[in-house]
Amino acid sequence: MPDTEPRLTAAIVPMSVLAGLVDLARREGHRPDGWFAGTGLTPGHVARPGTRVSFRQAAAILRRALRDLPPGPHGLRVGGRDALVTFGMLGFAIRSCRTLREAMDIGLELHLASGSLMDVEAESFGDRIALRLYERAPEPEVLPFLCEEAMSSSLMLIRSALGSDITPTLVELGYPRPAHAADYHRFFRCPLRFGADAHRMTFPASLLDRPIPTYSPASREAAVDACRRLLRTGRDAPHDIVAAVETLLAENPRRPLTMARTAEHLRLTERGLRRRLSAAGTRFSTIRDRVRRRRATFLLRETSLPVARIAEEVGFSDAREFRRAYQRWTGQPPTATRRAPRPRP
């Protein structure tokens, strides 16, 4: 995938799908640690609410996971979890809508807030309505998983809003029939078509005007606002290689990694890491300084540690060197930050 395509390289994707797969693997005795090698992340990061990955990182992790796990309907199992676990705040917004029509409009607008790894549109065919999935980038090895997860989680959300008896009229998938096709029949309870010209899940259009029993205008507005704020924040998300380097450097600020060691963790050469950071518009030293400055500022404002101890905490062996660096980063000495009033949240 090209380094210059923000939709693929920006770290904007919530970890919900990867978290579901990691949880599934652990419950069945598999170790997912190797899936994350070279990404700057570990399985522990999936449980942190603020962690974001790029589509490129997610696809790399999924490829390794599917090679490691035995064949099976893993996407159906991840997507078939409780809808509010899968969709988070977006699921709450959809269940608070007046009708399925309103819910679909919100879901199509804000689906990226749920950690979706496929793009989605609505199609109308007279008395039928369809959700059509599109690949964000060609990933044939993980395509069945992505379609299974996206369709099953969407159906679970619709069923949670309107009732467990809701069934599509047809599910179409653009790849050959998998060995576990029987699991598709059990889950979707409708005709299936493999090798189709598109990935679609079709419903009667009459469902659009069905009222949702959990309708709550106030809850809907609050949840929609939260999703929109999440997406606005995502527009400023760093390039995935920048986020990966930041994550590695922040893991142990007392012993900062060199550029060579960081490249080794990311399974890159030092030259390759320098090239990718340059393509993202930054340098290793800039990221390292940012991580140190952020940690030092936190310790100055939130603790009473002496400046010499804070210098050690952010990887400086000499307090004078730390003071000079902090003056360069912020334009003021560490003592000025300590005396300044704390910013309001």
pLDDT digits (tens, 9 = 90+) for 147-177: 999 999 999 999 999 999 999 999 999 999 9
Query: What's the Rg (C-alpha) of the chain?
Result: 23
Give the model's pLDDT for residue 21.
Answer: 94
Q: What residues contact residue 110 under an 8 Å CB cut-off, 6+ apart?
A: 90, 93, 224, 227, 228, 231
Average pLDDT over residues 318-330: 92
Residue 127 has pLDDT above 50, yes or no: yes
Give the model's pLDDT for residue 50.
Answer: 74
Average pLDDT over residues 2-27: 82
Q: At what angle are helices 100-110 and 143-162 packed, to 10 degrees?
A: 150
Weakest-pLDDT range from 51-55, 67-71, 131-135, 247-251? 247-251
To 10 degrees, the CA torsion angle through 43, 45, 46, 52?
A: -130
Give the model's pLDDT for residue 236.
Answer: 63
Q: What residues contact residue 252 under an 8 Å CB cut-off, 6+ apart?
A: none
Distance in angstroms (rounded) separating the CA atoms of residues 315 and 292 = 8
Give the model's pLDDT for residue 341.
Answer: 61
For residue 230, what are the CA distances in angstroms to 91, 114, 334?
Answer: 14, 10, 32
Average pLDDT over residues 85-110: 93
Instruction: Supply φ then ψ for residue 141, to 5 degrees.
Output: -70, -30
For residue 153, what are the CA distances in angstroms to 54, 70, 85?
Answer: 20, 22, 10
Q: What is the mean pLDDT of the chain?
A: 89
Question: Within 13 Å of residue 94, how many CA atoms lie on the same side as its CB?
Answer: 31
Instruction: Supply φ then ψ for residue 200, to 5 degrees.
Output: -135, 150
- What band does 185 get if pLDDT is binned at 50, 70 and 90? very high
Tokens of 315: 């990887």
Tokens of 227: 């999703």
- What band does 5 get if pLDDT is binned at 50, 70 and 90? low
- What band does 4 get if pLDDT is binned at 50, 70 and 90? low
Average pLDDT over residues 316-329: 91
pLDDT digits (tens, 9 = 90+) for 51-70: 888 898 999 999 999 999 99
Average pLDDT over residues 204-232: 92
Residue 3 has pLDDT above 60, yes or no: no
Q: What residues contact residue 328 under an 8 Å CB cut-off, 6+ apart?
A: none
Weakest-pLDDT range from 37-41, 110-114, 126-130, 212-216? 37-41
Weakest-pLDDT range from 160-164, 211-215, 263-267, 314-318? 263-267
Give the model's pLDDT for residue 51.
Answer: 82
Q: Which CATH architecture has domain 240-339?
A: Orthogonal Bundle (1.10)
Give the model's pLDDT for residue 6.
Answer: 64
All CATH 1.10.10.60 domain ranges in the chain, comma separated: 240-339
Weakest-pLDDT range from 71-75, 186-190, 297-301? 297-301
Contact 117, 146 (CB under 8 A): yes
Average pLDDT over residues 144-148: 97
Residue 1 has pLDDT above 90, yes or no: no
Per residue, the 3-state secondary structure of the chain, as one string, reads CCCCCHHHHECCEECHHHHHHHHHHHHCCCCCHHHHCCCCCCHHHHHCCCCEECHHHHHHHHHHHHHHCCCCCHHHHHHCCCHHHHHCHHHHHHHCCCEHHHHHHHHHHHHHHHCCCEEEEEEEECCEEEEEEEECCCCCCCHHHHHHHHHHHHHHHHHHHHCCCCCCCEEEECCCCCCCHHHHHHHHCCCEEECCCCEEEEEEHHHHHCECCCCCHHHHHHHHHHHHHHHHHHCCCCEHHHHHHHHHHHHCCCCCCCHHHHHHHCCCCHHHHHHHHHHCCCCHHHHHHHHHHHHHHHHHHHCCCCHHHHHHHCCCCCHHHHHHHHHHHHCCCHHHHHHCCCCCC
Average pLDDT over residues 183-206: 96
Give the model's pLDDT for residue 49.
Answer: 72
Give the model's pLDDT for residue 345.
Answer: 46
All CATH 3.90.1520 domain ranges in the chain, comma separated: 6-234
CATH level 3 topology of 6-234: H-NOX domain (3.90.1520)
